[in-house]
Every structure is written in C-alpha cells, then in structure tokens.
Amino acid sequence: MAKLTTPYYLIDENRLRDNLEIIRRIRDLSGAKFVLALKCFSTWGVFDLMRDYLDGTTSSSLFEARLGYEKFGKEVHAYSVGFSEKEVKAVRKFADKVIFNSMSQFRNYHHLVRDLRLGLRVNPGISYSHFDLADPARRYSRLGVTDRSELMKAAPLLSGVMFHFNCENDDFANIAAAIDRIGENYGALLERLDWVSLGGGLYFTKAGYPVERFAEKLKSFAEKFGVQLYLEPGEAAITQCAELVTTVVDVIRNEIEVAIVDASVEAHMLDHLIYRTSPKLAAPEPGRYRVIIAGRTCLAGDVFGEYKLKTKLKVGGEVRIADAAGYTMVKKNWFNGLAMPAIAVRRLDGRVDVVRKFRYKDFKRTLS
C-alpha cells in the first residue's frame, strides 16, 4: 500500500466474493441466471472473479455492451432507453439479446437484429423505490411498454421481456407479491416466451435476507410459465466491497470543525449528492467528536456528511468512505480538475494491485 497515494478506490475481492457466493446459492437453488448491470459497476479489473459466478452482463448503452463483450464475455444483453439506428447496427456485433424500451423503437429497428433474441422492456405499473428520482414506474415514466395489447401483438417476434421495476428493494414480501402480480397480469404473454428478466434493484445480499424463500419463488415462477429467468444485479453484487480512501488536507472551524479531504462528493461519489444522502465511514471509528467531512471542490455543498468520531481529525489523517463501488466509480468525473482516484484491488490472497492510475493527460483528453 506504500506505493498508493490518496485518493483511491480500494476494492476487496474477499468482500466481493461474499456477495457472489450468495448469488451462486440463489442461482443453484432457483435455476435463474444472473447478468451484471454495468450501469452500476463496470470496473473490469475484477471481472475475472465475477465471471465465475455470473452468466454475463446487461448494458444500458452501446459502449457498455461492447465492454461486456470484450472484458466479461459470456452473455451480453443490450438495452437502451433510446437506440439510434447506427447503434442498433453496431450492437449486433456484441449482443446475444437486444431489448428495446418502447414499441416505436421495436417497430423501427427489430428487423436490423432479427437474427438475435429480441426483447421488450415492460413497465408493469408497480415499483419499489426510496426515491422518486429512481422510481421506474413514476408518473409519466418513459421506461418500458405499458400497453399489454401491443405487447401481445409483438409476442411472435419476441423471445423475452424485461421487467425492471425496483430500486434497493430489500423487502422479500414486497417482491414476492410483485412477482405474483406480474404472473397474474402477464401470464398469457409469458407463456409464449423463452426468457423473462426481473431486472435489478433487488437487495438479496443483505444480511438476514431469506435467500431460500427467494430462490423458491424464482424457481416456481420460472416453472409455471416455462421460461428461463434472469436477474440483473448491480448493487447487490458489489455492496460493501469497496472504499474511497482519502487524506485530510485541512481542518477549519465555522461553528463546528470541518475536515476537508483530498476527494470530492461531486466528483467521486456523485450518487450521494444526487440523492442527498451521506455515506457511511469505514474509518475512523465512531465516537464523541463532532465533525463535518467535506470535499475540496468549489461547490459549497460538496459535503460527505456530519459524523461523530472516536478521535479528532488532523491534517494528514486518513478517512475511508464506505461502500464506494455501486453507482460510484461509473459516475466519477473531472469537476474542478481534481485528481481522479486510482483504482486498487485487494486480491483474494491479500495482494494489492493498482489496476488504474489517472494522470493529467487523462483529464486533458476528455476535453477539446
């Protein structure tokens, strides 16, 4: 670790494997297949490990589909909220399945990929999300087809459908009821298909989650309709496996002590700024000393949060921001020209690999 200077993301493969073992267990018990949602996590430096547990990747763009094809292999599910004709033609090189978001996209482009397995995203009118911003079935949602009669008309050309209607759903009773409702409302369609994806946003790797009951629910659904079931984990696959390691560069006082670290919420953990949440800390330990930990961009609201710590923070001290994998590294940016955190991986044997460092030339080449 001596060769690493902060800030850097540190992925722990042993923690990652803990999540993947749960996926393996559900996969074995249910017969469901799992494809990694690259929109959440695309750090291909750990794909060698993840490949042993997952059946492929699912994408939200042409570039993600290509990355899945080149760096993960196995199945490539290509989805986009809005493909261009050029992208549909290009994605043919990488995809096993192409999933269209709307009937108009399907009608316009399905003939270009007729040799692949075609799917449609369905908006079932139900959802689970803690935030309206991330609710796939919010009012006026553009995500997925709502007209069941149109779906039935398209059925002869479809091999499957995708229902993505959850965000961080850790409530087994809720998802079980939703699966039943989907079966009741779409059974006539499902019986004509080869595969069905229940999407992502399911937090089945949470401690205490009823894994066996969940697997049985998936298995019974698949058997009832004679389909291969897919899930698209993102956060569930990588939760709690990474940290953003930072160093305190200044401590000021404005009613309360404010410690400024050499990283940024806006540039390096943007999801927390978007959803107005505060990340947990992996270190220092909690205690009685009250402090605000803030980033070093010029944005006034670039603040990780307010914490109570065991010891006071001083310049040169280390702060580790917990759970810095999902929707974190994929959203990092060059705001204020801050140094981009390196990406390091603690392998299963304890060895630490620095898989990516970012230089000024990387910042420069993103601009004109």
In SS3 terms, 144-200 reads as: CECCHHHHHHHHHHCCEEECCCECCECCHHHHHHHHHHHHHHHHHHHCCCCEEECCC
Helix/strand/coil for 56: strand
Spatial neighbors of 178 by CB under 8 A, at least 6 apart, are 124, 126, 128, 165, 166
Range of the domain at 221: 14-238
Q: Are residues 251 and 281 in the same domain?
A: yes
Query: Confidence class of residue 368 from pLDDT cuts 50, 70 and 90?
Result: confident
pLDDT tens digits, 218-267: 999 999 999 999 999 999 999 999 999 999 999 999 999 999 999 999 99
| Confidence (pLDDT) at 1 | 53
Residue pLDDT, tens place only, 256-271: 999 999 999 999 999 9
Please tell me the predicted confidence (pLDDT) of residue 4: 87
If asked whether residues 234 and 264 sit together in one domain, one would say: no
Percent pLDDT > 90 in the chain is 98
Asked if 159 and 281 sit in the same domain, the reply is no
- Which whole-number Å values give the CA distances from 324 to 41, 211, 317, 360, in the listed order? 10, 25, 19, 23
How many structural domains are present in the chain? Answer: 2
Distance in angstroms (rounded) separating the CA atoms of residues 175 and 284:
36
For residues 253 and 330, membership in a common domain is answered with yes
Q: What CATH number is attached to the domain comprising 21?
A: 3.20.20.10
**Phi and psi at residue 335, in whole multiples of 5°?**
-55, 135
Classify residue 3: in a domain, yes or no.
no
pLDDT mean over 294-323: 97
Select from 238, 261, 289 the last residue of a domain.
Answer: 238
pLDDT(3) > 80? no
Give the end of a domain, one of 238, 271, 288.
Answer: 238
Residue 123 confidence (pLDDT): 97
In a domain, 8, yes or no: no
Mean pLDDT, the chain, rounded, equals 97
84/122 same-domain check: yes
Helix (H, G, I), strand (E, B) or coil at 292: strand
Band (81; pLDDT cuts 50, 70, 90): very high
| 184 and 96 co-located in one domain | yes
The pLDDT value recorded for residue 337 is: 96
Q: Could you read off the pLDDT of 118-136 as tens digits, one per residue?
A: 999 999 999 999 999 999 9
pLDDT (mean) for 295-301: 97
Cα separation, 309 vs 319, whole angstroms? 11
- Above 70 in pLDDT, residue 2? no
SS3 per-residue string spanning 57-108: EEECCHHHHHHHHHHHCCEEEEEECCCCHHHHHHHCCCCCEEEECCHHHHHH
Task: Reply yes or no on whether the pLDDT at 32 is more than 70.
Answer: yes
Same-domain check for residues 103 and 147: yes
Structure tokens belonging to residue 205:
């790797």
Query: What band does 328 get if pLDDT is binned at 50, 70 and 90?
Result: very high
Last residue of a domain, one of 213, 238, 263: 238
State the average pLDDT over residues 139-163: 97
Judged by DSSP in three states, 331 sits in: helix
Are residues 219 and 112 both part of a single domain? Answer: yes
Q: Please indicate, yes or no, whether residues 73 and 195 belong to a single structural domain of this protein.
A: yes
Instruction: Report whether pLDDT(100) > 90.
Output: yes
